[in-house]
């Protein structure tokens, strides 16, 4: 009896010892897992720690694949966009010469004929010249040698000197002097040497589209009414033909040439009006930037700088702005009064002021300005 009790007590002690060892081992495993978790979390935070990280940086990182896709698609589709601009513009010019010009010569007075011929051809020449120069002129790139420039920053992507107002284009994969933006309709960057060509093309294309829309309004209404009348007569003709034999079907009321003429006039007016609205808004936007002496990129930079200095009780001053009127003179390259005719109203391949590497006072400026960012 006693031996049985001893065996039972020994078994109980062995069971308690096993349970105690199992609990210790379990607690040890839990403690080791917790230590590994905290250690991994510390390593991850140490690798990803950045005092400048905020919500904007996280969003930029998440959208980086989208930016990469857009950059590469824009680079390859630039040729398609240029061909589309040339094709649409050529179609409008062809319609004007084939359909509208003979009608103008037959119905308008000699004074109106001279006006349309002079203004239309001048506007067309300005559009073709500035678009050709905008797509073929390099916007300007800084030199790659580090000893050529002093007092400039270094581009983090090119690892090359980056002068003032220079920015890196992810599509061209190069730094561009006085970069405004990359335009897919030009398949080129808009920068220091072709900014004037780009804006002049937008301006004269808008003027041309407005001219076509206004002068072709009466023709558009007549053509639209004729097309509606054609649809109605075609429906009536089909109803009559359904009750007759094949040989008794009446001939078409309108010829193919008449149909093509009316549809071409409607196409011309709709396309010109749409382009005038869209491109006109873009032209006004760039005109406002030029008036302030800014580019599209500098607008965002100056806005943040203005807000930052405003909190400190300071006033931001753009060092590249010489006043509204003088900004236009510098942008257009007008040094003397006759340049308004030879360089603005007529095609001119003159270069802009400066090299884009440094920004001295232009020769057309008569008074000095203090290039301060804040006072």
Which of 20-24, 30-34, 168-172, 208-212 shows the lowest per-residue confidence on average (mean pLDDT)? 20-24
pLDDT at 374 (0 to 100): 38
- Give per-residue pLDDT as tens, 14-30: 666 665 655 556 666 77
- The strand pair at 167-169 and 181-183 is best described as unpaired
* pLDDT for residue 1 is more than 90: no
Asked if 193 contacts 202 with a C-beta cutoff of 8 angstroms, the reply is no
Residue 371 belongs to a domain: no
> What's the pLDDT score for residue 232?
82
What mean pLDDT comes out for the span 112-127? 95
What local confidence, expressed as pLDDT, does residue 156 receive?
83
What is the C-alpha to C-alpha distance for residues 234 and 179, in angstroms, rounded to an integer?
56
Evaluate whether residue 22 is within a structural domain: no
Predicted pLDDT at 36? 81
Tokens of 319: 């060092």
**Which one has a higher pLDDT value, 113 or 374?**
113
Dihedral of CA atoms 335, 337, 340, 346 in degrees, nearest 10, equals: -90
Q: Has residue 55 been placed in a domain?
A: no
The reported pLDDT for the residue numbered 277 is 96
Whole-angstrom distance, CA of residue 310 vs CA of residue 23: 64
23 within some domain: no
Least confident of 98-102, 252-256, 290-294: 252-256
* Rounded CA separation 76/85 (Å): 16
The answer, yes or no, to whether residue 34 has pLDDT greater than 90, is: no
Q: Could you tell me if residue 104 is left (phi over 0), alpha (psi between -120 and 50 degrees) or otherwise beta? A: alpha
Span 57-70, mean pLDDT? Answer: 68
Confidence of residue 198 (pLDDT cuts 50, 70, 90): very high
* Joined tokens for residue 293: 């002496």
Reply yes or no on whether the pLDDT at 146 is more than 70: no
Q: What percent of the chain has pLDDT above 90?
A: 42
Token pair of 194, please? 């072709």
Assess contact for 183 and 286: CB atoms under 8 A. Answer: no
**What's the pLDDT score for residue 100?**
87
User: Containing H/E element for 205?
Assistant: helix 195-215
Question: Residue 174: which residues within 8 A CB-CB, separation 6 or more?
Answer: 141, 158, 168
Q: Is residue 86 part of a domain?
A: yes
CA 14 to chain centre: 81
* Residue 182 bridge partners (DSSP): 189
Evaluate whether residue 309 is within a structural domain: yes
Active site amino acids: 183
**Of residues 299 and 375, which shows the higher confidence score?**
299
Would 52 be classed as within a structural domain?
A: no
Cα–Cα distance, 79 to 76 (Å, whole number): 7
Q: Is the pLDDT of residue 110 over 70?
A: yes
**Alpha carbon 271 to chain centroid distance?**
20
Query: Can you give the pLDDT at residue 32?
Result: 77
Do 203 and 127 meet the contact criterion of CB atoms below 8 Å apart? no
> Is it the case that residue 261 has pLDDT exceeding 80?
yes
Does residue 149 surpass a pLDDT of 50?
yes
Contact 192, 178 (CB under 8 A): yes
DSSP collapsed to 3 states, 69-131: HHHHHHHHHHHHHHHHHHHHHHHHHHHHHHHHHHHHHHHCCHHHHHHHHHHHHHHHHHHHHHH
The answer, yes or no, to whether residue 327 has pLDDT greater than 80, is yes
CA distances from 4 to 7, 49, 295 (A): 5, 67, 99
Give me 171's structure tokens. Answer: 């599509």
Tell me if 33 is assigned to some domain.
Answer: no
Q: Residue 154: which domain range?
A: 62-243+250-364
Q: What is the pLDDT of residues 328-368, one digit of tens each?
A: 999 999 989 999 999 999 999 999 988 888 888 777 665 54
| Counts for the chain of helices (H) and strands (E), in that order | 11, 6
Place of tokens 């010249």: 129
**DSSP one-letter string for 5-46:** HHHHHHHHHHHHHHHHHHHHHHHHHHHHHHHHHHHHHHHHHH
pLDDT at 121: 95
Over 60: is that where the pLDDT of 245 sits?
no
pLDDT of residue 233: 78
Residue-level pLDDT at 159: 81
Give me the pLDDT at residue 204, please.
97
CA–CA gap between residue 176 and residue 363 (Å, rounded): 24
pLDDT confidence tier of residue 94, bands split at 50, 70 and 90: very high
In which band, very low, low, confident or very high, does the pLDDT at 125 lie, cut at 50, 70 and 90? Answer: very high
Of the candidates 89, 298, 74, 320, the one whose C-alpha atom is nearest the C-alpha of residue 212 is 89
Mean pLDDT along residues 32-47: 76
pTM for the predicted model, two decimal places: 0.76
- R_g (Cα) of the chain, nearest Å: 36
- State the total domains in the chain: 1
364, 326 contact by CB (below 8 A): yes
| Tokens encoding 287 | 């005109």
Has residue 179 got a pLDDT over 90? yes
pLDDT value of position 249: 53
Confidence grade of residue 372 (pLDDT, cut at 50, 70, 90): very low
**Mean pLDDT, all residues of the chain:** 83
* pLDDT for 26: 60
Q: Name the residue with higher pLDDT: 78 or 122.
A: 122
Please give the structure tokens belonging to residue 342: 């030879």
Whether residue 298 contacts residue 319, with contact meaning beta carbons closer than 8 Å, is answered with no
């Amino acid at each position: 009896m006693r031996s049985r009790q001893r065996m039972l007590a020994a078994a109980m002690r062995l069971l308690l010892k096993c349970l105690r060892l199992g609990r210790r081992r379990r607690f040890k495993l839990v403690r080791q897992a917790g230590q590994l978790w905290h250690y991994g979390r510390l390593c991850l935070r140490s690798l990803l720690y950045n005092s400048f990280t905020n919500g904007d940086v996280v969003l930029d990182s998440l959208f980086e694949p989208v930016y990469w896709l857009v950059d590469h698609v824009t680079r390859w589709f630039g040729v398609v966009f240029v061909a589309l601009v040339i094709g649409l513009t050529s179609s409008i010019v062809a319609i004007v010469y084939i359909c509208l010009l003979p009608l103008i010569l037959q119905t308008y007075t000699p004074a109106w004929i001279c006006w349309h011929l002079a203004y239309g051809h001048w506007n067309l020449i300005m559009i073709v010249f500035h678009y050709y120069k905008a797509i073929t002129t390099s916007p300007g790139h800084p030199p790659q040698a580090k000893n050529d420039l002093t007092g400039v920053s270094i581009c983090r992507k090119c690892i090359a000197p980056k002068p003032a107002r220079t920015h890196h284009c992810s599509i061209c994969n190069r730094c561009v002097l006085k970069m405004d933006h990359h335009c897919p309709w030009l398949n080129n960057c808009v920068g220091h040497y072709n900014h004037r060509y780009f804006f002049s093309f937008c301006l004269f294309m808008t003027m041309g589209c407005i001219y076509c829309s206004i002068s072709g309004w009466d023709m558009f209404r007549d053509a639209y009414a004729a097309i509606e009348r054609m649809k109605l007569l075609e429906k009536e003709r089909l109803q009559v033909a359904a009750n007759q034999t094949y040989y008794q079907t009446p001939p078409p009321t309108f010829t193919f040439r008449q149909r093509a003429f009316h549809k071409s006039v409607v196409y011309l007016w709709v396309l010109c009006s749409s382009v005038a609205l869209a491109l006109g808004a873009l032209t006004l936007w760039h005109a406002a930037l030029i008036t302030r002496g800014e580019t599209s990129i500098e607008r965002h930079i100056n806005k943040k700088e203005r807000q930052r200095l405003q909190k400190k009780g300071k006033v931001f001053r753009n060092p590249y702005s010489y006043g509204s009127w003088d900004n236009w003179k510098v942008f257009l390259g007008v040094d003397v009064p006759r340049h308004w005719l030879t360089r603005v109203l007529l095609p001119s391949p003159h270069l802009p002021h400066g090299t884009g590497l440094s920004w001295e006072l232009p020769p057309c400026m008569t008074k000095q300005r203090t290039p301060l960012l804040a006072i």
